[in-house]
Amino acid sequence: MIALLIFVAFPMLWVLRTSFNELVDGAYIVDAMTLDNYTRFLGDPWYLVNTLWFSIRIAIVTTVISVVCAYPVALYIAKTTGLQRNVLIALIMAPLLIGLVTLVYGWIVIFRGGGLLNSLMIALRIYDEPVRYMWDIKGVVILLVYIGTPYVVLSLLDSIERISPFLVEAARNVGASRWTAFWKIVFPMTLPGLYAGLVIVFSLNFSAFAVPLMVGDSNTQMIGLIVYREALLNNDLPFASALSVIMVAVNALILVGMAALFGRLILNRLEAKQ
C-alpha cells in the first residue's frame, strides 16, 4: 500500500491537479482551477477523431492480431516438455528481456528500405519493390504486435495447462473437428487467461509513445505520443496532464467494459455447465 501511494496515487494526484492549471506567456505554470485544458481536447472533434479514436483503433487492431498470433503458439508450447519447452519460453520472453530502445533500433534495421524484411519479401516475390515500414503506421503496428504477443502467450499458457487433455480427446473421438474442439472447449476455458493478456496488451498499446516516436512519422497522433510532445517539447504541462488524465480514464472505462463482457461470458459458460 505504501509503494502504491508513493509511486502511483501521489503522482496521479499531482498530474490531476496540474491539469487544472494554466500555461501563461512569460510564466511556466500558473495555479488555477480551470477546465480549459479538458475542453481544448474533448471539445475539438479533430482531437477526438485523429487522436483519441485513432489510438483506440490502433490498440484494438494490434491487440486482436496479438491474440490471433498467440493462441497457436501457446497451444503448441503447452504440448511440449523438457528442453524444448524451456527454449520456446525463452524465445517468447526474449522481447521482454531486451531494452525497448535497443529492440526498436534492431527493428529499424529490419524495416529500412533495403533491410531484411523488404529483401525477404522481394526474394519470395510477395511484392516487387520495397514497402515503407519506417516512419509509417505499418511499422508501428508490427512492432506493437511483436511486443504484445509474448504477454498474451504467457497469460494463455497458464489457462491452457489447466485444461485436461482428455476433454479435447473426447470431443475428437465423438467426431468434433479441431476447430470445433478448440471453439467449444479450449477457448471458453481460456477466457481468464485471455482477459489478462488483453488487459496488459491493450493498455500498453493504447498509451504507447516510444514505438510511435521512433518508428512512426512526425504526424503520428497516438495519445501517448501527444502527451510526450506537449510535456517535453511544448512545455505545456497543464495540457499534457489533462491528456494523461483523459488517457487513463478512457483506458479504465474500456477495461471495465471488457471485464463486464468477459464476466458475462464466463458466467454464461458456468450456467451452461450447470
pLDDT per position as a tens digit, 167-200: 888 888 888 888 888 888 888 889 888 999 999 9
**Percent of the chain whose predicted confidence (pLDDT) is above 70:** 96
* Position 270, amino acid: L
What number is the average pLDDT over the span 144-153? 94
- Res. 45: pLDDT tops 90: yes
Long-range contacts of 22-25 (CB under 8 A, 24+ apart): 22/238, 23/235, 23/236, 23/237, 23/238, 23/239
Q: What is the pLDDT of residue 254?
A: 92
CATH T-level assignment (fold) for domain 2-273: MetI-like fold (1.10.3720)
Buried b (16+ CB within 10 A) or exposed e, 4-20: eeeeeeeeeeebeebbb
What number is the average pLDDT over the span 229-248? 91
HSE of 148 in the Cβ direction (CA atoms, 13 Å)? 33
- Res. 26: pLDDT tops 70: no
Which ranges in 7-136 belong to alpha helices (H)? 10-18, 36-42, 45-47, 54-78, 82-97, 100-111, 116-123
> pTM to 2 decimals?
0.88
What number is the average pLDDT over the span 77-99? 89
Please state, in angstroms and rounded to a whole number, the distance separating the CA atoms of residues 92 and 142.
Answer: 16
**Bridge partner residues of 22 (DSSP):** 30
What number is the average pLDDT over the span 74-85? 89
What number is the average pLDDT over the span 4-27? 88
Q: How many Å is the Cα radius of gyration of the chain? A: 22
Q: Which of 12-21, 33-42, 108-117, 171-180 is the least confident region? A: 108-117
How high is the mean pLDDT of the chain?
A: 88
What number is the average pLDDT over the span 155-162? 89
Q: What is the pLDDT of residue 96?
A: 85
- Res. 125: pLDDT tops 70: yes
Q: What is the pLDDT of residue 110?
A: 85
Q: What is the pLDDT of residue 192?
A: 87
- Res. 138: pLDDT tops 70: yes
What number is the average pLDDT over the span 32-46? 91
